[in-house]
Amino acid sequence: MSEFYKDEWVWITGASSGIGKELVSQAYKQKAKVLLASRKTKTLEALAKELQLEKGRYAVEKLDLEDYKSTAVFAKRCLQKYGIPKVVIHNGGISQRSLTKETNLITLEKIMNTNFYGAAEMTRTMLPEIVGKKEVHFAVISSVAGKLGSPLRSAYSASKFALVGFFHCLRSEEERNGIFVTMVYPGFIQTNISKNALTGDGSTTGTMDSVIAAGLPVQLCAHRILHAVANKQREVVISGIKEKFGLFLQAVYPSLFFKMIQKAKVR
Active site residues: 156
Alpha-helical (H) ranges within the chain are 18-29, 41-50, 70-82, 105-112, 118-130, 154-174, 210-213, 218-230, 241-252, 254-263
d(CA 63, CA 75): 10
Task: Return the closest-CA partner of residue 235 out of 179, 189, 186, 191.
Answer: 186
Task: Return the closest-CA partner of residue 18 out of 156, 190, 144, 187.
Answer: 190
Q: What are phi and psi of 248, to 5 degrees?
A: -65, -45
d(CA 61, CA 39): 8
d(CA 33, CA 55): 10
CB within 8 A of 167, min separation 6: which ones? 123, 138, 140, 181, 183
The DSSP secondary structure of 53-82, one letter per residue, reads PPTTSEEEEE--TTSTTHHHHHHHHHHHHH
